[in-house]
Chains A and B, each alone.
Chain A
Amino acid sequence: MEYEVVIGLEVHVELLTKSKLFCCCPNRFVAEPNINTCPGCLGFPGVLPQLNSEAVRHALTASLALNCEIALYSYFDRKNYFYPDIPKGYQLSQFFVPIGSKGFLIIEDDNGKPKTVRIGRVHMEEDAGKLVHAISGNTSLVDYNRAGVPLIEIVTEPDLRSPGESRRYLEQLKGILQYTRVSDCKMEEGSLRCDANVSLRPMGCPDLGSKTELKNMNSFKAVEKSLEHEIKRQRDILRSGKEVITQTLRWDEGSQATIVMRGKLQAHDYRCFTDPELAPIELTEEDVEKARAALPEMADVRAARYVNEYDLPEYDAGVLTSSHGLADYFESCLELYNNPKVTSNWIIGEFTAQLNSTGLEPDQCSFQPKDLVELLLMIDQKLISGKIAKDVLAKAFQRGTSPRLVVEEEGLLQISDQSELEKVIVKVISENPDSVENYRGGKAKSLGFLVGQVMKETEGKANPRLVNELLLKIIGS
């Protein structure tokens, strides 16, 4: 029998806020345990939560970017359960009314056709701490640095039909959340976490089969692999006439297999009720429209514009818009320098190489758009060659000085002085009589060798076009 794969994804994303969701503790990773904590996020008696409005703005932005309907009136509820990593004995989460609902994303299906994936809800909640199990003995320690960090959970409807679709959904989601600066979405650091619900059903059957839940995938590739593995496992079970047991499985990266985590999906009763210590979140239509207007142009729209307006190849447009920062950098350059393709070449090539080697974001480095434009103008004005310019960019980037200063300090100005170049050419000719003869004898290649020798003598500073011209004049006639 043929089976249809049904997948739904639950993605938790840490929001890029200055402080935690309900207290003033900084929201950033530190290695030392329990540093970013206060009586509030440690759940001390009597301490009350204060809602971080920056987190609400991020959740609103994400909901709008994911095409959700926005709840103008929402609130936080308590999910009650006992575990040492939740300091209050409950997690504050938008259980009854999520800030965003009924959204969607359009992805490519396995045949390259557009497909709509429905997003059931986007809601805010607080993260838990982390249990650290001692290597020896039977004690565990708790690190509450992460407790109270703001998250949004994004839940799809069971609309995905393959591991590939699931990966593409995640890639698209990540792009949007990074683009809107809602999250950095670093899966390996845990700022994006994904659980998958997967089940199989006979082709054409409207009812859903028994599902399993997959956890502990720490890369998009792992999501894809674990889904492939789990689909095969379920298909084998069903084909052998047995039933899939509803359970939670853990992806084991080492053995590339899923391992049973909990024998059965435990029927948690979280005894949810609305938190009585927080005021409701009240948004106005105006707030929503303001947030909508502030949404950045999304990557795909922007890339299309680059192709249409600037005549860039799709590859260039794709790379430039892969990050919000790079695309902003590109556009800032264009305001000062009207050659999109040349600008794109330099950004995609040398500039990105520097970013990669330093780990900086475009807006963090001192080499600003005006510096790149200064460099490009020096090339246009033939003050430096393209080859030297690469070197200048690297030095200016690393030293934090302007390209012009690097050129001046290192004496890299291109030699365009005819008489000076003639001297060098005469020297090269006299040292390479064979090549001169060969050229005169019809070997055009030899001219290139001679030009190269001139460039070598001038340490690359000679204007190559002028060298060519002068050489021809001297030896060609």
Chain B
Amino acid sequence: MKLYEKTAADLGRLFQKKEVSAVEVVRSFLDRIEKVEPYLKAFITHTPAMALETANEIDNRRMSGEELHPLAGVPIAIKDNMCTEGLRTTCASRILENFIPPYDAAVVGALKRVGMPLLGKTNMDEFAMGSSTENSAFFTTRNPWDRERVPGGSSGGSAVVVSAGMAPLALGSDTGGSIRQPASFCGLIGLRPTYGRVSRYGLIAFASSLDQIGPFSLTALDGALLMNIIAGYDPLDSTSLPESVPDYPLGLEEDVKKLRIGIIRQNVSKDFDPEVTAAVMKLVSILEENGAEIDEVSLPLTDYGLGAYYLIAPAEASSNLGRYDGVRYGHNAGGDDIESMFSRTRGEGFGPEVKRRIMIGTYALSAGYFDAFYLQAMKVRTLIRRDYAIAFNRFDLLVGATTPTPAFKIGEKTDDPLQMYLSDICNITDALAGLPSLSVPSGLHSNGLPMGTQLTAPAFQEGLLFKVANFLEQKRDPLPRWPRVELPEGGLQ
């Protein structure tokens, strides 16, 4: 087994036994990136020198006998909407194409303190608005399971990097499914943590009341290890919550006896691809066989979730993106006066989907429409929270499909925004409720593509999600760990 095929936890064990150096590990991933990245295009910015420098430093410290974090020296890639000091952070947008932040995002600071070498910044839909990475201003990332298909989005680059063995771990952000949907499309564990669990400081905002950073990993254990590093209160983020952080890998091996599990009726819909639903039910039956108590539950407000989401998120985005005017940083197209400078800068700097959402959001907040749209959506959001609160009186955990179908084809939905929005249909309501939610691979479709099952827990129960995901990893039929990346010149990699 090559180093780049190993999980983060395995690499950590090798480091501790001093069987391998961080530099060797980083080199293995860099080689892998060199081989497959040209066909997948998951990175916007590569940082091999930085990664090797960190790895070297970690090796020296480890050699000198210093007690280091288990993940010290394990490389990682991060979505290009998290600020990195001195390193270009683009949000996959022309308007920030050459933006170099003078500060690190809180999560980046946390990774640096542990000593995780950064391999690069990953591609995404512009400003995280999209479900396929096709909205990146630079290029579309391809799904390693089928290069004609999208990897999902908006954190598609991060998902592909882990899926194709270009990094053992990656960070994404999830506003309304942007971690879980690509995790499902690429056969990974992807967690959207409780809103307020991971600091958003330095995460370039799309919709502030929904954005959360979370991990992509090959295994539940790896995700839990990474959450240990990034979770916690941050005084710089007023919405981060002071609840103490548990040791997530602890208790991962517990069984699921007596666990009360509700199948969300709306998320195993008849309208979904039947294989997707069948795969969910297969996992549920494994849990039932092992002592979990299964029942169905309806979340009646789900029908209104998508509508509410596509008012609230664009409303916040229309305001959050107001700062990109070319005055202080970013693209500036010039102009004869202030107004023409603003409109030219923003006209050139933003792509069509970003403009569409700015328009929707501006409209939803405008005088005369505010009550009918934004305010109404906020009321729906409150009711959705109540839906979940009621469901969690009966259940410890809710399950359903992560996505209605496996990964769709590149270009398939680009002309129909509504179809694109519907691919996040299962990921929206729990995001609106601020709940933690995880996608776990539930098998391969007959077309060879991965499918995902989504687990949603009450606030701060990320540990439970990892535990159930870990249990399923052990008990379900083994999945191929690796997509076979087909290289155009023939042969598999």
State A50–B234 Cα separation when bound (angstroms).
11
- 0/1 interface trace, chain A 321-340, chain B, CB 8 Å (1 if under): 00000000000000000000
Answer whether residue B203 sits at the interface, using C-beta atoms and an 8 A cutoff.
yes
Contact A89 B238 (CB under 8 A): no
Q: Is the interface of A mostly helix, strand, loop or mixed?
A: loop
Question: Within the assembled complex, what's the spacing in Å between the Cα atoms of A84 and B327?
Answer: 7
Which residues 149-205 in B have Cβ within 8 Å of A in the complex? 200-205
Residues of A within 8 A of B204 (CB): 45-46
Partner of A50, one of B235, B319, B322: B235
| Chain A 31-68 near chain B by CB (<8 Å), digits 1 or 0 | 00000000100111111111100000000000000000
Are A49 and B238 in contact (CB-based, < 8 A)? yes
Expressed in whole angstroms, the Cα–Cα distance for A450 and B188 within the complex equals 109
Q: Check A80 against B338 for contact (C-beta < 8 Å).
A: no
Contact check: which of A47, A80, A142, A269 meets B322 at CB < 8 Å?
A: A80
Most chain B CB neighbours (cut-off 10 Å) among A44, A45, A46, A272: A45
- Decide yes or no: A44 and B329 within 8 Å by CB, A273-B365, A276-B316 being known contacts: yes
Alpha-carbon gap, A60 to B8, bound state (A): 52
- Verify A269–B366 contact, CB threshold 8 A: yes
Q: Whole-angstrom distance between the alpha carbons of A176 and B103 in the complex?
A: 42
Query: Known contacts A82-B322, A88-B322; is A46 also within 8 Å of B105 by CB?
Result: yes
Asked if A271 and B362 sit within 8 Å, CB to CB, the answer is yes
A3 at the B interface (CB under 8 A): no
Q: Mark B84-125, 1 if CB is under 8 A from A, else 0.
A: 000001010000100101110100000000000000000000
Does A277 belong to the interface (CB within 8 Å)?
yes
Report yes or no: A78 in contact with B327, Cβ–Cβ below 8 A. no
Whether B239 sits at the interface, judged by CB under 8 Å, is yes
Q: How far is the CB of B324 from chain A (nearest CB, A)?
A: 8
Q: CB distance A47 to B103 under 8 Å?
A: yes
Cα separation A49 to B235 with both chains bound (whole Å): 10
Q: How far is the CA of A64 from the CA of B462 in the complex (A)?
A: 45
Query: How many residues of B are in contact with the other chain, CB < 8 A?
Result: 46
- Identify the closest chain A residue to B367 (Cβ): A269
Decide: A87 near B328, CB < 8 A? Known: A46-B101, A80-B319. Answer: yes
> Cβ of A45 and Cβ of B367 under 8 Å apart?
no
Q: Could you tell me if B365 and A80 are in contact, using CB atoms closer than 8 angstroms? A: yes
Chain B residues near A269 (CB-CB < 8 A): 366-367
Q: Is the CB of B321 within 8 A of A89?
A: yes
| B83 is an interface residue with CB less than 8 A from chain A | yes
User: In the assembled complex, which residues on chain B have CB atoms less than 8 Å from the CB atom of A279?
Assistant: 238-239
A83 within 8 A of B: yes
**B236: Cβ under 8 A from any A Cβ:** yes
A83–B96 alpha-carbon span in the complex (Å): 19
- Bound: A48/B203 CA distance, A: 9
A466 to chain B, nearest CB (A): 71
- Known contacts A39-B103, A80-B319; is A278 also within 8 Å of B238 by CB? yes
- Chain B residues lying within 8 Å of A44, measured Cβ to Cβ, are 101-103, 328-329
B460 at the interface (CB under 8 A from A): no
Which of A45, A51, A90 interacts with B319 by CB under 8 Å? A90
- Shortest CB–CB separation between residue B148 and chain A, in angstroms? 34
Q: Known: A43-B323, A45-B205, A269-B366. Contact between A277 and B239, CB under 8 A? A: yes
B338 engages A51 (CB within 8 Å): no
* Cβ–Cβ contact B366 & A46, under 8 A: no
Interchain CA distance A277-B105 in the complex, whole Å: 16
> Which residue on chain B has the smallest CB distance to residue A45?
B204
The interface residues of chain A lying within 8 Å CB-to-CB of B466 are none
Q: Which of B101, B102, B238, B319 contacts A271 (CB 8 A)?
A: B319
Contact, CB under 8 Å: B202 / A89? no
A-B contact pairs, 25 of them (CB 8 A): A39-B102, A44-B103, A45-B89, A45-B91, A45-B101, A45-B323, A47-B201, A47-B202, A48-B200, A50-B235, A80-B318, A80-B322, A82-B322, A82-B342, A84-B325, A87-B327, A87-B328, A88-B323, A89-B323, A89-B325, A138-B336, A269-B367, A272-B365, A277-B238, A279-B239
Add 13 more A-B contacts to A82-B342, A89-B321 (CB < 8 A).
Answer: A39-B102, A43-B323, A44-B101, A45-B99, A45-B204, A46-B103, A48-B200, A48-B237, A50-B238, A80-B319, A80-B322, A89-B323, A273-B316
Q: 6 closest Cβ contacts across the A-B interface?
A: A89-B322, A276-B209, A271-B365, A276-B208, A45-B204, A46-B202
